Chain A
Amino acid sequence: MHRSKKLVVLGHFGVGKTSLIRRFVSDVFSDKYKVTIGVHITKKVVEISAGNSVSLILWDLEGTDDITTIRNSYLLGTHGAVFVFDVTRPSTFQNLNEDLKVVAEKLRSVPIIVVGNKMDLVDANDLITVLGENDIAYDFLSSAKTGSAVEDLFYKMATLLQEDA
C-alpha cells in the first residue's frame, strides 16, 4: 500500500524547520541560515513496515512569530503538522500553548507533533526543568545538526498518518 500525505512544518523563524527537513530528506546540515520565504515542498517515502510505505509531502513554511498570519492556502489538504520551537530561544516557546491552539483551530483534527530543536546547544536536564516550569509539553527534542531524533519524529508522524487513513 502506498499513499501520499501532506505534512506542514510550522514554527517561528530560525527554529530549524528547514534544517530538520534537509536532515531528514538529504541527511545534510548547514550552519548557514537562509531565511525561508513562502514555501518549499519536498517529498520523502517512509517505509513503515514491509511493503507498507507513506510518501510524506513536506511543506516547509516561512517562519513567523505570529502564527495567525500563516497563509491559509498553504494549509489546504494538510494531513499532519510538525510544530517546531528552538530550545535556545524562549520567545519561540513562551506562547507555545496558545500557538498550538491556533494551529489546531486552523487544521481541525489533524495530528500535531511538537518538537524542541537545537538540543545540541543546551543541557538536557536544565532544559527539561525550564520547559516544565513553563508548562510546555513536547513530543520530541531534536537536533538537526547531529540528526538526533529527526528520523524518529518523522517516522512517528508517518505512523500516525497511516493509522489515520
Chain B
Amino acid sequence: MLNEYRQRFINESLQLILLDNDSVVVASDNSIFHVAQGESITELHPFFESVPSLIESETKVFKFLCIHLSLQGDFRIVDISISKEEPHAVLVIHDLTEHYESYQSAAQARNESVIKTELTVIKNNELEERERFKNLFIQNFSHEIRNPLTSIVAIANILSDTSLTDQQRKMLDFLQESNAALKLMLEDILSLGAIESGKLHLQEKPFDLTKLFRLLEFTYKTKTKQKNIELVAVFDERIPDFVEGDRLRLYQILTNLLDNALKYTDSGKISFSLSFNQKWANKVSIRFEVADTGVGIPEESLESIFESFTQLDVGQNKDGSGLGLAIVKGLLELMGSKIKVTSQVGQGSVFYFDLLLKYPLHPVQEALKGSTSPIQGDIKRKAKDKVNLLVVEDDERIQTLILKTLVDAEFFNVDILNDGADVLKELVNNQYNIILMDVDLPNISGDHLTRLIREFPFKNIKNIPIIGLTANAFNEQITSYLASGMNKVLTKPFEKEDLIKAILRVLR
C-alpha cells in the first residue's frame, strides 16, 4: 500500500538522472522532464552548463536550492543536488514549485512595502526641502518689501495732512487702507517665518497682566459693539497683576484669537477670560480662553486651521493673511504651551491654552520706587520749551524708570511706544525733540529703525537725536549702534543721572 502511494506522491516530484564523467546522460526516470539518454546534460538548460566543472572538482556533493527551470514548455521551481558516485554522478531534481510560489508571494509583499516606504521617505524629504526654500524666499522677499512700504505709509500720512480735494481724499483713504492691509500681512508672514525658523526669541520681562487684559477688553468692546455682539470679559482675581514673559507676543496671541472670533461671529457673544489654575513658589498657571457663538469649525478642519500659509486657502481669507492661528500655534509652542480648540458647527468655538508664568515675589512697582533726585536746572536752561520725548521700549520696568525720572520734572512730554513698527508714523504726526530707543525691540531692531530715520527725506525727522538703550555692554556692539546713527548709547541698567546726563548732551 504505502509503496504504491510513495510511488504516486513522492516519485512524481523527484527525478533521478545518472550521468557519466563527461556529463552525458546514462539513465533518467523522466518523472518531471524528459531527458534523452546519450545526450549531454549541458544541452538541457543553461543551469547544467556548470555541471562538468562540478564533476571535475574535489567536492562530492552539491546542493542548489530554488532553481527556476523552464523547459519543454514546462515551468518548475526545483532543488537540485549532485552527488558523485564513481564512475557516475547522480543528479536529483526535487520539484518544490508550490512551496516556492507561496514563499514568492510573501517576499513580493515584503519587498514592495520596503521599497515603497523608502521612496515615500525620500519624496517627503524633497517636498520639505522645497517647502523650506519657498518659505525662505517669501521671508526674504517680505523683508525687502517692508522698508519701501514703511516709507509709503509715512508719506501717505503726511499727504493726508495737506489740503486735498474730495476725490483725492477718497483715493488717499483707499491707499492708506491698502497700505495697512499689506503691512499687516507682511508682519504676519515675518512673524510666522521668525517663529518657524526658530529666529524668534521670547522676552522674559515683568509686565502688568491686568493692564494688558483691560486694554484688550477695551479694544474688543468697541469692535464687538460695531458688530452688534456682546463681549464678556472675565479676569480671575487670584491671578497676580504682574507676571514675567513676553507681553507683546501674548498680546499678539490674544488679538489673533479675538480677531478670529470676531471674524466668524455675527450674533451672540464673545467671551474672553483669564482664569487661575494653580500657583507654585513663584510660578502661576493661567488658563486663557476665547469663546464665540460663531459659525463653528467642522471636525475634519480642526487640525488644518492652524496650518501656515503653505496650505492657505486664499479664497476664504479675504481679510487678513489667514495666518493668525498658525502664529498663535507657533508662539504658544515657543512658550511651551499648546493651543486647543473645541467646536460645534453652528454653535461656536472655544480656543484655549494654559500658560505657566513666573511672577515677581516683590511687587514691581515697589522695586522701581526710589528717591527722585531733583533734576538739574541745566535742563531748564537748555530747553526753552517743553521737551517732547518719544520712548520706544517694551520693558515696563525701564518705562517706569524713565517716567519716574522725567515726568516729575515737568520739562518733558513723554510718549511711550512698545513696538518699533509704529515709530515712523508717530514721528511724522508729532514733533519730537529726542528719541529714547531700546535696541532689542521685537519685530524691528532699534539700530535698524535708527538707520531708517536717518535716511528719512525730512530734515526735522532725520535729525532727531536718538539715545539707544541696550543690555548689550560689548564695545563693538555699542560702536555698531553708534554707526547706525544713534547719538549716544546707554547700557541697561542705568542710573537716573546717566539718563539725564545723556539727555543734556544731545539737547541742543
**Interface residues, chain A, with chain B CB atoms under 8 Å away:** 4, 6, 13-14, 33-35, 37-43, 55, 57-58, 62-63, 65, 71, 73-74, 76-77, 88-91
Contact = CB atoms under 8 A, between A and B. Distances in A.
Given A42-B46, A57-B50, A89-B115, 12 more contacts: A4-B49, A6-B50, A35-B108, A38-B66, A38-B67, A38-B68, A38-B100, A39-B64, A65-B114, A73-B63, A73-B65, A90-B122
Contacts, number: 70
Contact of B107 (A4, A35, A55): A35
A76 B119 CA distance: 35
A14 B46 CA distance: 24
A74 B64 contact: yes
A91 B103 CA distance: 24
Across the A-B interface, the 5 shortest Cβ-Cβ residue pairs: A38-B66, A43-B46, A35-B108, A41-B47, A40-B68
Interface in B28-68: 45-47, 49-50, 53-54, 62-68
Contacts of A43: 46, 49
B219 interface: no
B62 A91 contact: no
B111 interface: yes
A73 to B, nearest CB: 5
Interface of B: 45-47, 49-50, 53-54, 62-68, 77, 100, 103-104, 107-108, 111-112, 114-115, 118-119, 122
A65 B115 CA distance: 11
Contacts of A13: 111, 114-115
B54 A76 contact: yes
Contacts of B49: 4, 6, 43, 55, 57
A91 B115 CA distance: 10
A52 B77 CA distance: 34
Nearest to B79: A38
Nearest to A73: B64
Contacts of B100: 37-38
Contacts of B104: 35, 37
Nearest to A44: B46
B68 A39 contact: yes
Interface of B is mostly: helix
B45 A41 contact: yes
A89 B119 contact: yes
A113 B115 CA distance: 24
B60 to A, nearest CB: 14
Contact of A14 (B54, B103, B115, B122): B115
A18 B87 CA distance: 38
A82 B66 CA distance: 21
Most chain B beta-carbon contacts within 10 A, residue among A37, A43, A76: A37
Contacts of A88: 119, 122
Contact of A76 (B62, B68, B114): B62
Contacts of A62: 66, 107
A63 B114 CA distance: 13
A77 B50 CA distance: 7
Given A57-B50, A91-B118, A39 B66 contact: yes
A57 B47 CA distance: 8
B62 to A, nearest CB: 6
Given A35-B104, A76-B54, A41 B68 contact: yes
B111 A35 contact: yes
B67 A41 contact: yes
Nearest to B78: A38
Contacts of B68: 38-41
Nearest to B69: A41
17 contacts: A13-B114, A14-B111, A14-B115, A35-B107, A37-B103, A38-B77, A41-B67, A41-B68, A63-B111, A73-B62, A73-B63, A73-B65, A76-B50, A77-B50, A88-B122, A89-B119, A90-B122
Given A34-B108, A76-B50, A71 B65 contact: yes
